[in-house]
Structure 1
Amino acid sequence: MSIATEVKTSELLAVRVMRLSKPALYQSAPVYCEPSDLYSSAFITGQSLDGSLSNSIPNSSLSNILVLPYSFGKVFLGETFSSIVSIHNQSEQTLRDCILKTDIQTVTQRISLSTAENLEDKQDLVPDQNVCRILQHEVKELGSHSLVCTVTYIDANEEKSSVKKVFKLQ
């Protein structure tokens, strides 16, 4: 295999995690205007033309658009951390016997989030296919937490490989 066509083992699979949370409305800093201001009519007219802006608070620029979170955010003691883990085969070959193992690493312990049936559930991933799993964990300990995702698989050359990704939680 030439250098140009060689694909690194770490690039065969992409592991991504997204936190599941309640939808949130996009909130920008409200901009108010005085009705007697010289430019207030232009400002209010501009707001009325934009369908995404709220009509519930007059003379403000609050939006009704739902947004996805940019980061995991903070995880509080007693809260249930829910996330979706996606494994994507971004190679040109079929990967056999893919197994996802997930753990939460705290300051004092390592908690396995993988069930016995998940570890027995080996899946083959054809090119451009993905598998998703939903994880839930109740935070019972203060301090930093890390979500550790390890995927083991067998590539087209019959070599057993693994990919490990660590996602830090605050």
Structure 2
Amino acid sequence: MARGEAVDDGNWVPPVGSWASSAARRRNMQAIRSRDTTPERLVRSLVHAQGFRYRVAARPLPNLRRTADLVFRPAKLAVFIDGCYWHGCPEHYVPPKTNSGYWSEKVARNMARDRDTDDQLRTAGWTVLRFWEHDPAEECALKIAATVSRLRDGRA
């Protein structure tokens, strides 16, 4: 029986080198959404209710293999709503107890990629707004609306 295949008794065996330490962990990790999270949906609905239209989970730059949560192309505004765990929130991030080396390095890579994304977008003339998932959706939506309006009016 090869690793990674289900056995007759229903036990799952992780493939060699798998990041999932158990079948339960694998299910848990697969259930984590990368888009359309509750904080994103709340902010999007509030921004939409104010009459603003945007792209969801889109690449701001065609050659940048990263997506922003909301993209306002004409205004050149990219909005990211970062999860506290995955992006290392200074207020809420708690290092994992199991496999801490792997996950801490993963979060550090995410944070470095976030900074690189911000730099590349700013170099290309874009404005970047980042919010934490715990930030009040109403405040995020107001800041987004004000920024889009300012950029559209040419008051960069």
Indicate the structure whose relative CO is greater, using CA pairs within 8 Å and at least 6 residues apart. Answer: 1
Give the number of the structure whose residues are more often strand, by fraction. Answer: 1
Specify if TM > 0.5. no
Q: Which of these two proteins has the greater Rg computed from alpha carbons? A: 1
In the superposition, the TM-score normalised over structure 1's length comes to 0.24
